Structure 1
């Protein structure tokens, strides 16, 4: 699988560190239920997901990678900072 880093270009996935699902963090004042869901509840879908990866052996950027867990096809990559601001949402 190759990931197209927005800063470095296409690279082998072994240059990247997989962190998990790219989730929007609840507000600081969110209730216990929202934080419990964020920390403990995860889905394991077959198909398209958005995952958080770090280009560990490259520029060090955190990326949101949209990929298919069945085919391993990468459908999009964006900087995590842009994702958090809602630029790529």
Structure 2
């Protein structure tokens, strides 16, 4: 079982309380009414699927209900950092070095 830390509730709970929302820091088209079909396809469907560290968006469904971000290693499934929505994405290379990756 994975344990996930909610930066809003400041508690660590079982993964069953959370829902993964996919890749974090995906920018909406600046002017949605002028976005092309290709822009919408890129925004809605195209995601990175890296082997290693990735920033993901999570929601604490059975807690505060808020979205937050987490850095997770997709190889080991280990979480390395949690941070609130709206905060900038941390330097993944620095986190990897810190973790000895």
**Does the TM-score normalized on the shorter chain lie above 0.5?**
yes
Q: Which has the higher contact order (CA 8 A, sep 6+)?
A: 1
Across the aligned residues of Structure 1 and Structure 2, the Cα RMSD in angstroms comes to 1.7
The C-alpha deviation readout for 1:32-57, integer Å capped at 9, x for no partner, is 23332111212221111111111000
Higher Cα radius of gyration? 2
> Could you tell me the TM-score, scaled by structure 2's length?
0.71
Q: Of 21, 25, 28, which aligns to 1:19?
A: 21
> Could you tell me the TM-score, scaled by structure 1's length?
0.79
**Which structure 1 residue ranges, 5 or more long, are not aligned?**
none
- Between structures 1 and 2, the one with greater strand share: 1
Runs of 4+ displaced beyond 6 Å: none
